[in-house]
Amino acid sequence: AQSVSQHNHHVILSEAASLELGCNYSYGGTVNLFWYVQYPGQHLQLLLKYFSGDPLVKGIKGFEAEFIKSKFSFNLRKPSVQWSDTAEYFCAVNNHNTGKLIFGQGTTLQVKP
Amino acid sequence: NAGVTQTPKFQVLKTGQSMTLQCAQDMNHEYMSWYRQDPGMGLRLIHYSVGAGITDQGEVPNGYNVSRSTTEDFPLRLLSAAPSQTSVYFCASSSGTSGGAREFFGPGTRLTVL
């Protein structure tokens, strides 16, 4: 069965620190990859997505993610976090055949000012 | 465009009661889905639909029913509510799996079952 694993459940950083959130998925076929963010009290918003082409994807608010097919990974990065990045981050994988979107468990990021 | 709308925003039920969570989208999307969000478990797919008249089960379908009589609407029915169904429910829609398709999420329904 297809699954998505996020390694870090809770991350605490100081402002200006660099961020990397891990995401691995298990599925051998063609997939689309996403990172969503949920700010406190709000619903999910798309940060970035990968469908094809350049495996380094740039999203909103300075976030980027790199798709490494051989490692089944799609890690999220940001060089310098801000207090306003405090949120919950979800990695998700969409199976081309079924259209189902499967989410990871989520990572809570807390940025201290 | 209103996007994806959900009603109600909040609901409290007693064990054994039934109710329907409403979801509608005005983007003419074929794909619609229901998720529940629980702490430490991310979002889990309950049911999904790839078009009017077609539905299928996701990861956690037990205790929930869906139907898709129109492209726009995808209601989620709780047949006999249980405390384990206390959660935040999100409806989503997308145009498919190819190209630039992505999920659009509704604002969520916070359900408490006593």
pLDDT in tens, A58-85: 988 999 999 999 999 999 999 999 999 9
Q: pLDDT tens digits, residue range B55-64?
A: 999 889 999 9
- Identify whether the C-beta of residue A111 lies closer than 8 Å to the C-beta of residue A13: yes
| A49 pLDDT higher than 60 | yes
Chosen from A3, A97, A103, A107 to mutate, greatest number of chain B CBs within 10 A: A103
Rounded to 5 degrees, what are φ and ψ at A84?
A: -70, -5
Q: How far apart are the first and last CA of chain B?
A: 36
**Which of B34, B41, B43, B56 to probe by mutation at the A interface, max A CB count within 10 Å?**
B43
Among B39, B23, B40, B9, residue whose Cα is nearest residue B103: B23
Distance from CA of B104 to the nearest CA of A (A): 8
Contact B41 A90 (CB under 8 A): no
DSSP string, A90-107: EEEEEETTT--EEE---E
Q: Which of B40, B58, B108 is facing A100, going by the closest CB pair?
A: B58
Of A9, A36, A51, the CB nearest to B99: A51
Contacts of A94 in chain B (CB under 8 A): 97
E strands in chain A: 3-6, 10-14, 19-21, 23-26, 31-38, 45-50, 56-58, 64-68, 73-78, 87-95, 101-103, 107-112
Distance, in Å, from the CA atom of A71 to the CA atom of A26, rounded to the nearest integer, reads: 10
CB proximity list for B107: less than 8 A, separation 6 or greater: A43, B5, B6, B9
List chain B residues with CB under 8 Å of A106: 40-43
pLDDT at B95: 80
Q: Identity (one letter) of the amino acid at A40? A: P
Strands (E), chain B: 4-7, 10-13, 19-25, 31-38, 42-51, 54-57, 64-66, 76-78, 87-94, 104-105, 109-113
Give the model's confidence band at A97: pLDDT under 50 very low, under 70 low, under 90 confident, else very high: low
B31 touches chain A (CB under 8 A): yes
- pLDDT tens digits, B19-64: 999 999 999 998 999 999 998 788 899 999 988 999 999 889 999 9
pLDDT tops 70 at residue A96: no
pLDDT value at residue B101: 65
Quick check: B2 pLDDT over 70? yes
> Which residues in chain A are closer than 8 Å to B44, comparing Cβ atoms?
103
Angle at A59 between CA A30 and CA A21, to 5 degrees: 75
Whether A112 shows a pLDDT value over 70: the answer reads yes
* Interface A-B: count of C-beta contacts within 8 A: 64
- Closest chain A CA to residue B38: A105
Per-residue pLDDT tens digits for A23-36: 999 877 778 899 99
Question: How far apart, in whole angstroms, are the C-alpha atoms of residue B26 and residue A98?
Answer: 23
